[in-house]
Structure 1
Amino acid sequence: MYDLVVTIGFATPWTAAAALGSMHAVHVALGLPGSPPPVLGPFELMLTAMMGTAVAMWALARIRYPFASLIAIDTVGRVAFSTWMVTALVAGASPVIVVFLVPEAIWAVLQAIGVKRAVR
Structure 2
Amino acid sequence: MSGAHLEDAALERVQFTDCRLLGVQAAHARLRHVALTRVAAPLSVWVKADAAHLRLDDCDLTEAAFMDADLPGLILRACRLPRTDLRGLRITPRELEGVTVDATQLPDLAHLLGVRVGESLPEPDALP
TM-score (norm 2): 0.23
Higher-RCO chain (CA-CA 8 Å, sequence separation at least 6):
1
Structure with the larger strand share: 2
Larger CA Rg, structure 1 vs 2: 2
Structure with the larger helix share: 1
